[in-house]
Chains A and B, each alone.
Chain A
Amino acid sequence: DGGITQSPKYLFRKEGQNVTLSCEQNLNHDAMYWYRQDPGQGLRLIYYSQIVNDFQKGDIAEGYSVSREKKESFPLTVTSAQKNPTAFYLCASSGQRGITDTQYFGPGTRLTVL
């Protein structure tokens, strides 16, 4: 089946630890995105990538890092510099580079920092 997968579904980490969230898609989409969602707030863009080996900061990139070494994969690292990392993290992809297209979401990862 074509789609976007994220793992793990739930993640618990101690404060001060870095953690990497996985996002994989087999839709052959060029663009991929990372968002976080907090209760009562809209999705906020962390990073996005329109092509392999290139990515841009979104609105709330501080404390996060990404890589895009393969078209299918766009992992997100939540570093210890992120002050409030507990949130619902959503990965999305869309088909056409440079043109707004429908974004399709993975099932998300709930990160809780203890």
Chain B
Amino acid sequence: EVQLVESGGGLVKPGGSLKLSCAASGFTFSNAWMSWVRQAPGKGLEWVGRIKAKTDGGTADYIAPVKGRFTISRDDSKNTLYLQMNSLKTEDTAVYYCITNPYYEIYWGQGTLVTVSS
């Protein structure tokens, strides 16, 4: 059974940093492309970025509002995906989800709340 479990969310001041983790199980993590998705309060779903499997180059892509501030990485030995968030802004307040499609079906974690506020 595919499982994704996010952690690391919390309250942080504007300009601060936070690192989210997503622990994966139930599939071959090293072969999977992984994405982060967020949803701000009362807003729609927003894809944040994605990291490819190392066999596909292992590169990450991001949406414009987070480029240069957020970094997606992976540790295939730990089956874990990360999202390092720096220079956080109030508009980054959202529930953050990790998602993947190791086969064709898409799986989501339960989400972790990030609140950026002074």
Real complex partners, A and B? no
